[in-house]
Amino acid sequence: MVLYVVFFAYFKLVKLENHIMKKMERAKIVLKLLNKIYPNVPVPLNHKNIYELLVSVLLSAQCTDERVNQVTPTLFKLANNPFDMSKVSTSKIYKIIRPCGLAPKKSRAISDLSKILVKKFNGKVPKNFEDLENLPGVGHKTASVVMSQGFGHPAFPVDTHIHRLAQRWGLTSGKNVVQTEKDLKSIFPEKHWNRLHLQIIWYGREYCKARDCFGITCKICKSCYPNRVKRFIAKKA
């Protein structure tokens, strides 16, 4: 009986190690191919300073980056810093950002966070997660994008594209975006995070779309799972 228990425990350990090893092998494939496809990866949201980035990311919630980039030139011509934006009426902000969706909530958030930045931070965007996430309309993902793209701090923002592709590539269980972020951070070295999250976003838009590929046709999916024949349905974020 004792020998059986020991053998069973050893078998589970070996199985777990093999699973981890296969996941790491897939991660290496992903990193190699993404670096080849996107040696220079652009930031999707147009901005000229960190405040503009913060507002743009806030606007991108449930909205495409393309739409945000169409709206922000008009908004930032009116005000591109907390001091000026705090003086703009919420109704005026609302009229400009309406095409981005959730305009009532977003316009209030932009107005309120601008006033807070002026009052508490001398008009500067704070350089830490805690203060960022305490701002109106700013969640962990938004804060992660600002820390990563704005300040160069290692972060791994997980959007719908990353959540979907990480599942298709067998890098996470896809339980939720929190788990996906945790899994990706444990697999990839920190030095790759900032660049990699952008590479995955672009790849998801161009080659492994939500209503395309389904884990069986794009180059990375085929490389990670060459024998997969059934469509892989990823869990939604």
| Alpha-carbon distances, residue 87 vs 1, 99, 124, 130, 161 (angstroms) | 76, 22, 16, 26, 36
79, two tokens: 């005000």
In the set 23, 106, 159, 183, the catalytic residue is 159
Does the annotation count 141 as an active-site position? yes
Count how many Cα atoms sit within 13 Å of the Cα of residue 171 in the half-sphere of its side chain: 30
Cα–Cα distance for residue pair 113/218, rounded to 1 Å? 41
State how far the Cα of 71 lies from the Cα of 90, in Å rounded to an integer. Answer: 16
Choice among 23, 65, 106, 141 that is catalytic: 141
Active-site residue flag, 84: no
Q: Which amino acids are annotated catalytic?
A: 141, 159
